[in-house]
Amino acid sequence: MIIYVVKKGDTIYSIANAFGVSAEKIISSNELKNPNDLVVGQTIVIISDYIKHKIQFGESLYSISRKYNVKLEDIINANPQITNFKNIKIGTEIIVPLNDEKLGTMRVNGYVLPGIKESVLIKTLPNLTYVSVFSYQVLRDGTLKGVNDDYIIKSALEYKVAPIMTITNIEEGASFSGDLFNSVVSDAELKETLINNIISTAKSKGYLGVDVDFEYLNPEDKNLYNKFIQTLSVRLKENGLILNTALAPKTSANQMGVLYEAHDYGWHGRYVDNVILMTYEWGYLYGPPMAVAPINSVKKVLNYAVSEIPSNKILMGVPNYGYDWNIPFKQGTAARVITNVEGVDIARNNNVAIDYNYLSQAPYFNYINGMQKHIVWFDDARSIQEKLKLVKDYNLGGVSYWNLNNYFPQNWLVQNALWNVEKIIQ
């Protein structure tokens, strides 16, 4: 795999010619809708067994091997026609094999919402271990408000992907509610009703597990939540069901704030099968402009998480979206949610180049619409690659994407070049 960053004057054909690959293959694999109008700073993922490289002034086989991250001996073996590797003429065309060694096998979860296009779902499923349908809402009588999920479950099973039922404490017609959680789980009878409903619904629908995404819990309900997870874990295991939980991105055990205090990393690590860390939303809808998941901030969460949770249980959250903010930022104003593909489109439509922040490991750019200044942060192939490398660096179980209703072709090109995806359904 080669991740190429478009430079001024590049065309899709000059890029294809430079690497000795088919322009049509590049266009198809990246699903480029505007291949004749590339954006400076845009990433292009080149998937091939080998590329052709013309020797430039000052280059050596060693520098070429470093450039493409290929073993020197592999380049030598791929070019038996060259007898003097220490004195290769400028302009000589050599073969550079791209025998990418994968980093290993990981588990991949993806959240989807009912209403996902069937074409998007079908293209996405081969890349997943689990698909988590968002969401069944807990009601105050211990019942669940369901969603239209039959077609997602059926498709998932056909593609050997485990469907997971996500349950939330989202108050009907409102948002996440700590009071809703407390009113149901603090009542022994309602708690039992809820657990019975979770199990019966999961089994009748054909789900293979449950994902508990309870957010903004009252800090004083930490022990109540812990005991609920412990009890639910036992009951689900008795019924052959997986238990995942989604946790806020903490950097310490005593981190303050309603989002964090009731989420006990060590406890969840003990009782659940997969802990999904929501390592995103540093740049958020009503917040000041910045990368959604800056890698330096993600690492701080992982550094703490692996001290409390068995690392192979952790699925690191990866966002599948970006934001477009008005600047200067005004408190109380909302950004516009965009897709990663749309980020490139906005840059193209406003004739601006895409920059890259190496501290955050994320692309961004500024533009002006009328009199209004904007800044856009999103993800591209480079930033996805850096995130996926963290799975190896921290020996994680894998990743979890929020959310996959919009298809991002380069994400899957990069993921599948780096990792094999574990399948728990044979």
Catalytic residues: 215
- What's the angle, vertex CA 336, arms to CA 332 and CA 337, rounded to 5? 120
Q: Of all residues in the chain, what percent are helix, strand and coil, respectively (each to 5)? A: 35, 25, 40
Considering only CA atoms, which of 201, 143, 213 is closest in space to residue 175? 213
Q: Report how far residue 62's alpha carbon sits from residue 296's, in angstroms, rounded to the nearest whole number.
A: 31
Cα–Cα distances (Å) from 111 to 27, 34, 233, in that order, read 27, 29, 21
DSSP annotation string for 196-232: HHHHHHHHHHT-SEEEEE--S--GGGHHHHHHHHHHH
Numbers of helices and strands, H then E, in the chain:
14, 19
* Contacts with 313 (C-beta within 8 Å, 6 or more apart), sequence order: 269, 272, 273, 274, 275, 397
